Amino acid sequence: MTPVIARTREELAAARKSVPGTLALVPTMGALHEGHLSLMREARARADGVAVSIFVNPLQFGPGEDFDRYPRTFEDDVAACARVGVDVVFAPTRDVMYPAEPQVTLKSGPMGSVVEGASRPGHFDGMLTVVLKLLNLVRPDVAVFGEKDAQQLALIRRMVADLNVPVEIVGAPTVREPDGLALSSRNRYLSPDERRTALALSRALRAGADAAAAGAGPDAVLGAARAELAAAAAAEPPLEPDYLVLVDPATFTEVTADHAGPAVLAVAGRVGATHLIDNVPLQLTKEH
C-alpha cells in the first residue's frame, strides 16, 4: 500500500479525515531504519491508522551540529513506510512548519538541561516545540517514540501531562544490530573502524546491566560500565565519552548511592565526528 503523502497543512487535514477510526503518529526526521519500522508496527497494533511525519527540525540542532549533513532519503523512506502499511506520510517543508520565525516556543526546564541537554543546550526546547506542533497538526490518538531516546521520551511524557495534551504516549524498545549497536540514522556516518569503537557504548550498558542483575548497587553498576568506556578511550580511533549516568527514568535526575528501584543507565560519546547515545533500563538494589 502506498501511503498518502501530505506536504501542506491542507493536504494533511484532508488525509487525516480519510483515515477512519483511531490514528497513531510516529514522528521521525527520516533516514528510516528498522528501529523506525518497529515503531510503525507498534503504532499499527495500537490504532486503526498510522501516520508518519518526516521533518528534519532545525530548532533542535545547535551551532556546529549536523543539520546540513543529516541524511535525507525521502524516496527510500516512503518505500519503507509502504512496506509496513503506513496510511499517511506528512512531509512538510520548513516554511510549512514555521511560516514565520517562532516567537513562542516551549522550554524543557530543568529536566531538559541535564544529561544530553547539558551538552546540547536548547536541543530539547526545539524538540518539544516541534513535537507539540506535530501533535496539534496531526491530532493523533496515540504517538509512538523509541526508548533509545529515553530523555526525549521522558520529556514528551512530562509535556503531555503538564499541558494536558489529549494523546497517549507509547515508548517502544530499542532495536539493535546483531553486534549490539543501537540503530540510529547517524550510524551511517561511521567508518568500519569507528563502528568497532562505537560498540563500547553498548558493551558499557551491558556490563552495567549485568552488574545490576547480580544485585550490585549504583556505584558498582557505574564502575562496571566505566571500565568498558575507559578501554575504548584508548582505542584507535578513540571514543570521546560525553557522559555516563544513572538517572531516575521519570525526571532524569541522577540517582544516589542508596537508590533502589527503576533507573536508566545512559551513555553518550563521540567517535570521529559522530555523536551517539544509548541507554538501558535497570532495576537497582541498595548497596550494602
- Residue 69: the pLDDT is 87
Full-model pTM:
0.94
Give the residue from 137, 184, 212, 188 showing the smallest Cα distance to 278: 184
- Cell numbers for 111: 529536566
- Cell numbers for 160: 503531555
Instruction: For residue 36, indicate whether it is catalytic.
Output: yes
Catalytic option among 36, 123, 259, 275: 36
Q: What is the pLDDT along the chain (288 residues), one digit of tens a residue?
A: 799 999 999 999 999 999 999 999 999 999 999 999 999 999 999 999 999 999 999 999 988 888 998 999 999 999 999 999 999 999 999 999 999 999 999 999 999 999 999 989 999 999 999 999 999 999 999 999 999 999 999 999 999 999 999 999 999 999 999 999 999 999 999 999 999 999 999 999 999 999 999 999 999 999 999 999 999 998 899 999 999 999 999 999 999 988 899 999 999 999 999 999 999 999 998 654
- Residue 1: the pLDDT is 77
Whether 18 has a binding-site annotation, put simply, is no
- Residue 72: the pLDDT is 94
Whether 258 has a binding-site annotation, put simply, is no
Asked whether the CA dihedral 29, 33, 38, 40 is positive or negative, the reply is positive
Whether 183 has a binding-site annotation, put simply, is yes
- Residue 90: the pLDDT is 98
- Residue 66: the pLDDT is 86
Q: How far apart are CA 99 and CA 101, in angstroms?
A: 7
- Residue 287: the pLDDT is 56
Give the chain's end-to-end CA distance (angstroms, integer): 57
Whether 152 has a binding-site annotation, put simply, is yes
* CA 68 vs CA 47, 61, 63, 92, 274: distances in Å: 34, 10, 11, 17, 14
